[in-house]
Amino acid sequence: MVYQNGYQSTMSWPDEVGIISLELYIPNYYVDQAELELFDGGDKFKGKYTVGLGQKQMGFVGDNEDVNSLCLTAVSRLMKRQGYSTKDFGRLEVGTESILDRSKGVKTVLMQLFEDNTDLEGIDTINACYGGTSALFNAVQWVESSNWDGRFALVVAADIAIYSVGNARCTGGAGAIAMVVGPNAALVLDRGLRGTHMKHVYDFYKPKLDSEYPEVDGPLSIECYLSALDICYERYRAKFNLQRSKGQVGDLSEEEFSLDNFDAIMFHTPFCKIVQKSLGRLVLSEYINKGPASKANPKFEKLETFGDITLKGSYHNRNLEKALLEISKPLFEAKTVPTLRIAQRVGNMYTPSLYGCLVSFLTSRSCSELCNNKLAMFSYGSGMAATMYSITTTSDVSKISKLLSSLTSVDSVLDTRIKYTPQKFVDVLKQREETHNRADFTPQHSAESLQNDTYYLVRVDEKYRRTYDCHQFEK
């Protein structure tokens, strides 16, 4: 069968379904975390956000950007830079937790970019920071389904992460990612290798529809994140071992499952320190899982003093946490540090966070280094929904090269953003508080300080209808 985009199928389902192209939008404003910690708490806070949480900068947007404009920016740039036509797509999925309307989805706003292709399935997917991953899974599953018509799927994840005054505010951020999904991809999502954990919990939620700020129980959210990681990893490992026993995991079929199987291990990143601790948890899980074999491994010598440790009973054991950080340090530096460059300088983007880590990793390696890699991905959304899954990168350098072609400017964008003082940052948040979801409103922030090709909110009319324009240096 020959599909609309020329893809020729000889199988009952398409091969190597995954991510073909990526476009990351990083907002043009940031605040320095070393300045922010002093502003928030004086000398008492010196080192808290930078050393304690591992952050350098935090990105944010003015009152003329919202979730719709972020998605419009990411999608339009991706289409333009990669030369896609609107008719190349049969599905468009949005993952976000920054909705402005309980009925009209962000996806419908994006339809203004697809006026000549209204045959485009997909709507919004919402559950805290997990919505982007769920949208990606939906897109992959559509391509693998009997409903697939040969066109690509497009996934966009975008959020504005801002918090009320208090200890969570320094863990904000903002951004958007657009991903083209299809067969014969550069980044192939491994079939059947997902470990999922979902549960009812009030760790972080947004019940107040007149505010952009969440209700957060910080310590609970951290425990939920780490416990979800433990469970997802155990389930992922069980599925991997099942596939291995059936001889379905390619080159790794003879090997015992281990973290060493991965070339990169990346996580949803609310702040970098939690990720470092997370890697420690994976090492602990491996130690417990290998039982007596671990005891003979000198790498784990330091853990012997802790006796029979369990995953569940160890979340508040500070000495164990310290030992795990030490043991996992070489692994962290080799496999996770390269994934944190953007998170450290932009902060928590919520739904795009994990995919910002993917972009950090991809842009830290050459095309040939990126071939045949195995990438571990942990996605966490409060409330809660979490999955660990994996990606196998292609052996075809030209596909990697196409994937990287829209990501070459990431570092220059990070370096040329406009720095705001903490006071100016606080003023912007105050302005957003006062104007959030207001009707008959024209934003005050100037479009002139946006990057080229950035969509922005022009006006909200008296019936709450929003209009957008695209800022271009030269029209």
Q: What is the DSSP string of 357-373?
A: HHHHHHTTS-TTTTTT-
Joined tokens for residue 159: 């959020």
Among 8, 15, 52, 449, interactor with ligand ACO by CB under 6 A: 52
Among 17, 20, 22, 53, interactor with ligand ACO by CB under 6 A: 53
How far apart are CB 75 and ligand ACO at their closest, in Å? 24
Q: Which residue type sits at 283?
A: V
| Distance from the Cα of residue 243 to its chain's centroid | 27
Among 139, 158, 168, 272, interactor with ligand ACO by CB under 6 A: 168
Among 5, 167, 364, 437, interactor with ligand ACO by CB under 6 A: 167
How far apart are CB 346 and ligand ACO at their closest, in Å? 14
Among 25, 204, 262, 300, interactor with ligand ACO by CB under 6 A: 204
Q: What is the DSSP string of 322-378?
A: HHHHHHHHHHIIIIIGGG-HHHHHH---STTHHHHHHHHHHTTS-TTTTTT-EEEEE
H-helix or E-strand spanning residue 231: helix 218-245
Asked if 376 and 265 count as a contact pair (C-beta separation under 8 A), the reply is yes
Stretch that binds ligand ACO, among 60-68, 216-224, 259-267, 367-375 (CB under 6 A): 216-224
CA distance 151 to 90: 5
DSSP state of 407: T
Position 384 contacts ligand ACO (CB under 6 A):
no
Position 218 contacts ligand ACO (CB under 6 A):
yes
Residue nearest to ligand ACO (CB): 52
How far apart are CB 45 and ligand ACO at their closest, in Å? 6
Q: By CB under 6 A, what part of segment 82-141 binds ligand ACO? A: 129
Among 72, 155, 181, 216, interactor with ligand ACO by CB under 6 A: 216
Position 221 contacts ligand ACO (CB under 6 A):
yes
- Specify which residues 125 forms β-bridges with: 95
How far apart are CB 43 and ligand ACO at their closest, in Å? 8
Q: By CB under 6 A, what part of segment 262-281 binds ligand ACO? A: 270, 273-274
Position 250 contacts ligand ACO (CB under 6 A):
no
Position 401 contacts ligand ACO (CB under 6 A):
no
Stretch that binds ligand ACO, among 19-27, 43-51, 96-104, 371-379 (CB under 6 A): 43-51
Told to judge if 129 belongs to the known catalytic residues of this protein, a careful annotator would answer yes
Among 4, 15, 51, 250, interactor with ligand ACO by CB under 6 A: 51
**Which segments within 231-275 are labelled E, that is strand?**
264-267
Asked if 159 and 209 count as a contact pair (C-beta separation under 8 A), the reply is no
- Specify which residues 23 forms β-bridges with: 178
How far apart are CB 128 and ligand ACO at their closest, in Å? 7
Position 382 contacts ligand ACO (CB under 6 A):
yes
Query: Which of 35, 37, 268, 357 is an active site residue?
Result: 268
Which pairs with CB-CB distance under 8 Å and at least 24 residues apart come from 254-261? 258/286, 259/283, 259/286, 259/331, 259/335, 259/376, 261/374
Helices 397-405 and 67-82 meet at what angle, rounded to 10? 130
CA distance 208 to 212: 8
Catalytic residues: 97, 129, 268
Binding site for ligand ACO (CB under 6 A): 45-48, 51-53, 129, 167-168, 170-171, 204, 216, 218, 221-222, 225, 270, 273-274, 348, 382
